[in-house]
Copies of this chain bind each other. A is one copy, B any other.
């Protein structure tokens, strides 16, 4: 274990000089700098993280709270996590992975112990227990997601309300008048997860404005659940010709079932998905979709946090504008039978 002092001795300077070479907080002559850097290389010196954290009260670590559940929107979570880790590194930060399991205690523990300088919280519920702690905390934080009350918080999210509106608009423009929404699992709504409710709100509002009938059905992932849900939908609204799907693990089952029932996509029914682009293009029908910009969200969260840590930046809600990409799963509504 090489220490600062050893580097200093090797380079023939004082410890503080080495420290200033490393941090750049005071000017150092070019020759000294080079000598020190040479010594650092030769000795293979790495500053001790603990000592650094203690002396500077900065750990250079960002905590990332991810949901514990592995049963939903996994690829999105993973992509965000990786984007956060990658982007954080470019700013000199490491990422500490926390699961939602500990709940609010994790916030206390991490901020209390100085383990992390800041925090990114995912899977935010409308009235999340962690919010009061984050508001009080002197450490900056960014939410990925949108709670009911955003005062005193910084949030980054896709504008799900606009996303919902966009989906309805697209289908309405194509002439669809009866639209079914296949949502996330019921548990997601019960937990009042912001994005699910906001999408629904956007869907409903725009549907009302456009005079389109809308039927919303939460749905577990998987084939069997989808089959049951679909049956109920056609039972209740036989004239349904448009679908909006916001549930990755329902996408392929839906397509398979429609095919099996002899309903052609997009000739008989149109499908719009809200999912990462990768899912949309890999599906058995290339899906018209609104992308969930996971990487972008992760990146923006980190950049806001870094700005705050640098004393720049302020509380702010960033809603990314949704973009609908037309692919092969949507087309004009079929003319009503018998007219």
Contacts and interface: CB of A to CB of B under 8 A. Distances in A.
Interface of A: 1, 44, 46-54, 57, 59, 61, 64, 66, 68, 70-71, 74-75, 77-79, 81-82, 85-86, 89, 94-99, 101-102, 108-109, 112-115, 221-223, 249, 252-253, 255-256, 259-260, 278, 281-286
Given A49-B115, A223-B282, A86 B74 contact: no
A94 B96 contact: yes
Nearest to A106: B89
Q: What 5 pairs between A and B have smallest CB-CB spacing?
A: A50-B53, A46-B112, A222-B282, A50-B54, A49-B115
Chain copies in the assembled complex: 2
Contacts of A75: 70, 74-75
Contact of A99 (B57, B86, B278): B86
Given A96-B97, A223-B284, A108 B46 contact: yes
Residue from the set A1, A249, A282 with the largest chain B CB neighbour count within 10 Å: A282
Contacts of A1: 114
B223 A113 contact: no
Nearest to A253: B284
Contacts of A89: 99, 101-102
